[in-house]
Structures are given as structure tokens and as C-alpha cells.
């Protein structure tokens, strides 16, 4: 059952249901199948993909035709719904581009159609979470700005202030996919899942039928798989709907193989694992692993599932190319990879090697999955926790030591250390494009970033976060290449009006108009900004009017650049009579600006409603 989040003072959102064309991540195959023969008007092709139009691209060395496909929820008149997830895909019928194209966007709002305003559709940023208190801050990323039509900028606040903040469940476990779209916060004593939509900068809640012990967010989708004592369920994070699966028993963990359309489910009490169909969620086959196993990963090369039994035995499950084959999968084992089942697993992408961290011994073993043999072994740290992959390097954190260890899986016995400052590492994560490892340092309130440099991983950047964060998730919504003639961007269009999208390829460019419309009148803050003066420590009351839609509450940001650094407070303004009212306490003397953000989407129009001088 879908529920609104309780009124806790945080910004929440109602999860969209009943969408007949939910945004999906388009693949090259979908793009090819979605093209229309007559682009005179919008056409639905069964994937929620609409061919907007085709445009001719003229280049000095040739050119071709560029087609724009839009996958998004749509209004009754066929326009994209404002404030909802949108996937834009550009397909070039011509010579492949040598460089990644550049995408620029201008919006002509309904209220002022003659005044085009540049907007940035890229939404890169890093969410840092203090799982103890539940505080979330979203730090700005490159290309994440937007035009604030009222003249004030909230996207890149001075002093490195966060773009967005939220208050999540304190003490919850945070799960996320590597694509950086969703975060899910869960507690084992509750069936409520708190959902963070990093694309739309919003939070909400869905209810799972079971209390979770493990939550896995499926990359490239809007689904979370909830594992618990009551079984296995799949929750749609957009609609809140719950789907049962064909899994039985007491599931321990799941791993996804999108290239095979399969999911492997291990069991806490049985040696029998279950292969499910990724789309229908039905049972494909039961596979006896020969040992009770726990954590499981999928290695894209050579296309196998890998898990470790309670006795430390490595188990490799190779699905048959035809799921109707009997048996549906073959099983191989390798002894002596670990001493217990308490391990960390990380598979190299496109490279047939696996890192197995034996936490009991503080050792990392390198397994060649093609040869099914241990080809290297390195002592890493005394109390290893997480392990992630950066290219062919495994990066390992420690629970006690101020150090990260890297191991070269290509060579097996090459390793090194990176010293970290300020405290032990929190939960390691990798950005969506696999270019950096994020290391949150809670004690020092910093985020360190590991990049490849001089042929090995190195700490190349350290950023202040403003919170004792122990979890970091990079959200990168930018134009990406699916192949040399196809590019994709997942974003949100916040304004009602006409967006003009200009794609520049080489020395040519093409422009596509896209109509965007909401479900009704949007909320717009009206009236001039107030000029207020108070004594330091005295509470400030700010009120303003809203026309159009009348939301129950309006989020307000109070911001000041003080001698001690940036101050920001996210507040809710409640309706009192015909105006909205909020109060905040300036912590010290200085000048403050107060902005109102009445839309569902954080990137919607913001308005300066007050300037406050605290003496």
C-alpha cells in the first residue's frame, strides 16, 4: 500500500501511480524498434517512447538525420508531464561521431513564451548520508546548475553549500544502485521503506509486505528487491506497487544478470538457490549449490553468478543459454578461497577476475573465473569491510585503520596502500560511470575521491560535506553514449512550456522542440521580496503569497554566507489565511536570503521572498 510520508518537517513527495508510459532506460534495441516511419506527429511504440521528430544534420564531411525519442509520462494532449522523469535518446543515421555531442536546452515558459531561458538538464551531484541521524545533503556536481528565473541561484550556493537536504530515518540501512538514481532506507523492524529519488530531489515512502534484511536496488530500473524472513518481494519505487516472485524458502541475497534476463536467489538455510526470470519474476529453475551460500554477485565476463558458502567454498553458477535446457545451469566449486562465508565480493567489469575478501583473515584472493583458480593472494588490512572495483583494481576499506588497500586483479600479486586522513572510511561506492571511488569520512565530515592516476588508484580530491556522513552515492544524469550513433540523457523538465533541445555534433547542430505541461495550474510565488531587520538570536517570521495551485506546505530555504561559513536551513511554510508563513532563527549576525520552492520538483522555479539583516 502506498502511503504519504508522515509530517516530520522534511520535504516529501507523493509517488506517481497509474502512469501509462513510465520512463524506461532505452537500449539500442529499443531505439531501433521504436522508430516511426512517419514522424508527422507523436507516436507510441509500446515502450513509452515517442518519436518527436527527425532533423537533418549538415556537416562539412557529410551529415545525416538525427531522430529524438522521448520516453516519459505524458499528459492527455501528448505533452511531457512537467516534474517527472524523462529519458531523451538521440539517434544519428549517418557517420558515427568522433566525440560526445554537446546538448544545450532553452525553455519558453507558458507565462512568457517569447522569453527563452537557458536551462541545464544535467543533474550530477553526490548525496552524503549520516545514517546515524538520517541527515542527507546533496553536494553539487559538474554541470548541475540551472537558471533561477527569479534572479537567485540555488543550484550552486556560495561556499560549497548543499543543493538539497532531507531528513531520513535515523539508524536505517541505505541501499542504492550503481546508476545513482534511487536510494532506499530500511530498518529490519519495519516494513516501511523510505525512498530518495536523486533525479527529482525528493523523498517518499512505500510499504513492503515483509520486513527487510537486505534491499537490492536494480540498476536501470525503478525496482527494489526486498529480502527478508517473509520471503522475497519486488517494489516499484515509482508507483509503490508490490510484485510477488516465484522464490520460496528463506532468501539470503539476490544478484541481477540483465544481459541474461535472470536473477539468482541464495537461501539462508538451504543449499538450493533459485533462478528467476528478471521480467516475469517466475521461477526458471532450482540449482543445488552443494552448500548453504550467502552474498552473491554477477560477473559480466564470463557471464556467471558467483557466491561463497558458509565453509568458504567458492561456487560458480553458469546459466544455460536456453533456459529450457535441463539442467538450466551448471555448478562448479573451488575450495580454499576463504575460511568462512563472511566475505566481500567484487567482480571486474568485462574482465574474468573476481576479488574475494576473507574478512576473518584480512586477505584478498584473486580468482580467475575462466580458469577457476586462485591466481593471487594479498594481505590487505586487519579488519576489512567493503571492497569495490575501479577498472581492474579492487579497493578495500578497513573498520579500524586509516588506510585503503588496492590490489591489481590483472597481475594478482601487485598491491599498494593509500593513507586517509581524519577517520576511518565509511561505506565505499563507485560513481555511475566507474571513474572514481567515493570514501566518506564521518569523523572529519569529508568525502575523499579515488581516481586512476599513473597506472594505479590514488586519492585525488577531498571535499567538505557539512555532515558526519558514512554513506555517499553519486548521481550522474548527463548525456551518455550508447554507441557511436546513439546518445541518451535521463533528466527532469520542470517548467510548463516548450523546451528547445539543441544537439551539437561536430560543426553542425539540430534543434528539437518538446512540449511540457503539468496536470493543472502550478504554484507560483507572487509579490515583492520582504526587507526585514532583526536582532541576532531573534526569530524571523517570513510570509508570502502563492497563486495557482495551493500546496499544503511550501519548502523554504534560508541561506546566509556568514564569517563562520555558509548557513542553510530547509523549512516548511504552512498556509495561514491566504498566505504561507515560516519562522527561522538566524544563528548570528549577518545577511540572509529566504527562497520559496513551491513545486514538487526541487529544480522548479524558486523565488526570493525575503532579505533578512540580523544585527
pLDDT digits (tens, 9 = 90+) for 342-395: 999 999 888 899 999 999 999 999 999 999 999 999 999 899 999 999 999 999
Phi, psi of 423, deg, nearest 5: 155, 175
Residue 426 exposed, middle or buried by CB count within 10 Å (0-12, 13-18, 19+): buried
Q: How far apart are CA 479 and CA 474, in angstroms?
A: 16
Task: Please tell me the least confidently modeled range out of 11-25, 175-189, 204-218, 591-605.
Answer: 11-25
DSSP symbols for 552-570: SEEEEEEEEEETTEEEEEE
For residue 519, the model assigns a pLDDT of 63
Strand order in the sheet with 85-94: 49-59, 62-71, 85-94, 486-492, 480-483
Nearby residues of 187 by Cβ (< 8 Å), 6 or more positions away: 169, 171, 172, 173, 212
Largest CA distance in the chain: 79
Q: How far apart are CA 126 and CA 474, in angstroms?
A: 4
540-547 and 579-584 as β-strands: parallel, antiparallel, unpaired? Answer: antiparallel
Q: How far apart are CA 378 and CA 168, in angstroms?
A: 39
Phi, psi of 158, deg, nearest 5: -60, 150
Answer yes or no: are the C-beta atoms of 130 and 124 closer than 8 Å.
Answer: no
Take residue 79 and report the three cell numbers written for it: 505533452
Take residue 488 and report the three cell numbers written for it: 541518451
Helix (H, G, I), strand (E, B) or coil at 449: strand
Take residue 129 and report the three cell numbers written for it: 548520508
Helix (H, G, I), strand (E, B) or coil at 326: coil
The model carries a pTM of 0.73
Q: How far apart are CA 86 and CA 499, in angstroms?
A: 13
For residue 565, the model assigns a pLDDT of 67
Query: For the segment 32-83, what is each residue's pLDDT rounded down to a tens digit?
Result: 333 333 233 323 333 355 666 788 887 766 778 999 988 887 777 778 888 7
Query: For the segment 548-591, what is each residue's pLDDT rounded down to a tens digit?
Result: 767 777 878 787 877 776 677 778 888 998 899 999 888 888 88
Answer yes or no: are the C-beta atoms of 180 and 473 closer than 8 Å.
Answer: yes
- In 35-74, at which residue ranges do the beta strands (DSSP E only) sit? 49-59, 62-71
Nearby residues of 204 by Cβ (< 8 Å), 6 or more positions away: 4, 5, 12, 13, 14, 15, 194, 195, 197
Helix H segments across 173-304? none
Strand partners, 286: 274
Amino acid at each position: 500500500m502506498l502511503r504519504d510520508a508522515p509530517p516530520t518537517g522534511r520535504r516529501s513527495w507523493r509517488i506517481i501511480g497509474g502512469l501509462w508510459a513510465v520512463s524506461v532506460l532505452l537500449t539500442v534495441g529499443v531505439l531501433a524498434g521504436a522508430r516511426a516511419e512517419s514522424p508527422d506527429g507523436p507516436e507510441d511504440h509500446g515502450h513509452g517512447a515517442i518519436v518527436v521528430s527527425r532533423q537533418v544534420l549538415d556537416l562539412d564531411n557529410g551529415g545525416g538525420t538525427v531522430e529524438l525519442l522521448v520516453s516519459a509520462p505524458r499528459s492527455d494532449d501528448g505533452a511531457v508531464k512537467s516534474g517527472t522523469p524523462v529519458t531523451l535518446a538521440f539517434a544519428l543515421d549517418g557517420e558515427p561521431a568522433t566525440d560526445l555531442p554537446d546538448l544545450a536546452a532553452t525553455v519558453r515558459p507558458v507565462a512568457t513564451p517569447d522569453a527563452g531561458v537557458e536551462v541545464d538538464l544535467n543533474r550530477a551531484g553526490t548525496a552524503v548520508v549520516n545514517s546515524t541521524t538520517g541527515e542527507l545533503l546533496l553536494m553539487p556536481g559538474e554541470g548541475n546548475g540551472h537558471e533561477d528565473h527569479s534572479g537567485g541561484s540555488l543550484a550552486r550556493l556560495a561556499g560549497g553549500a548543499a543543493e538539497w537536504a532531507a531528513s531520513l530515518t535515523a539508524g536505517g540501512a541505505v541501499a542504492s544502485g550503481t546508476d545513482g538514481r534511487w536510494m532506499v532506507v530500511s530498518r529490519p523492524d519495519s516494513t516501511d521503506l523510505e525512498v530518495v529519488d536523486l533525479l527529482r530531489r525528493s523523498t517518499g515512502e512505500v510499504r513492503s509486505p515483509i520486513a527487510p534484511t537486505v534491499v537490492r536496488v536494480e540498476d536501470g530500473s525503478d525496482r527494489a528487491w526486498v529480502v527478508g524472513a517473509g520471503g522475497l518481494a519486488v517494489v516499484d519505487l515509482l508507483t509503490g506497487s508490490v510484485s510477488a516472485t516465484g522464490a520460496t524458502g528463506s532468501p539470503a541475497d539476490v544478484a541481477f544478470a540483465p544481459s541474461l534476463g535472470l536473477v539468482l536467489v541464495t537461501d539462508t538455510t538451504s543449499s538450493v538457490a533459485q533462478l528467476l526470470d528478471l521480467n516475469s519474476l517466475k521461477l526458471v529453475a532450482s540449482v543445488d549449490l552443494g552448500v548453504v551460500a550467502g552474498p552473491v554477485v554477477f560477473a559480466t565476463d564470463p557471464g556467471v553468478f558467483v557466491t561463497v558458502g558458509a565453509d568458504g567454498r567458492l561456487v560458480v553458477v553458469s546459466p544455460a543459454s536456453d533456459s529450457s535446457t535441463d539442467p538450466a545451469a551448471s555448478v562448479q566449486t573451488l575450495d580454499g578461497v576463504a575460511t568462512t562465508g563472511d566475505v566481500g565480493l567484487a567482480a571486474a567489469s568485462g574482465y574474468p577476475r573476481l576479488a574475494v575478501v576473507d574478512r576473518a583473515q584480512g586477505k584478498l584472493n584473486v580468482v580467475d573465473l575462466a580458469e577457476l583458480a586462485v591466481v593471487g593472494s594479498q594481505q590487505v588490512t586487519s579488519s576489512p569491510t567493503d571492497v569495490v572495483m575501479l577498472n581492474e583494481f579492487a579497493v578495500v576499506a578497513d573498520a579500524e585503520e586509516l588506510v585503503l588497500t588496492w590490489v591489481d586483479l590483472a597481475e594478482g600479486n601487485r598491491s599498494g596502500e593509500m593513507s586517509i586522513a581524519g577517520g576511518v572510511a565509511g561505506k565505499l561506492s563507485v560513481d555511475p560511470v566507474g571513474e572514481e571511488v567515493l570514501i566518506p569520512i564521518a569523523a572529519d565530515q569529508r568525502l575523499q575521491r579515488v581516481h586512476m592516476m599513473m597506472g594505479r588508484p590514488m586519492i585525488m580530491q577531498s571535499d567538505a560535506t557539512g555532515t558526519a556522513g558514512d554513506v555517499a552515492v553519486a548521481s550522474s544524469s548527463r548525456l551518455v553514449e550508447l554507441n557511436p550513433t546513439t546518445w541518451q540523457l535521463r533528466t527532469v523538465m520542470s517548467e510548463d512550456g516548450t523546451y528547445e533541445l539543441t544537439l551539437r555534433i561536430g560543426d553542425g547542430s539540430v534543434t528539437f522542440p518538446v512540449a511540457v505541461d503539468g496536470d493543472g495550474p502550478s504554484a507560483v510565488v507572487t509579490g515583492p521580496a520582504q526587507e526585514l531587520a532583526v536582532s541576532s538570536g531573534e526569530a524571523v517570521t517570513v510570509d508570502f503569497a502563492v497563486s495557482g495551485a495551493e500546496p499544503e506546505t511550501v519548502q523554504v530555504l534560508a541561506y546566509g554566507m556568514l564569517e563562520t561559513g555558509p548557513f542553510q536551513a530547509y523549512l516548511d511554510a504552512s498556509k495561514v489565511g491566504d498566505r504561507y508563513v515560516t519562522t527561522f532563527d538566524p544563528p548570528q549576525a549577518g545577511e540572509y536570503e529566504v527562497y520559496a520552492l513551491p513545486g514538487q520538483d526541487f529544480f522548479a522555479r524558486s523565488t526570493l521572498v525575503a532579505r533578512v539583516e540580523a544585527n
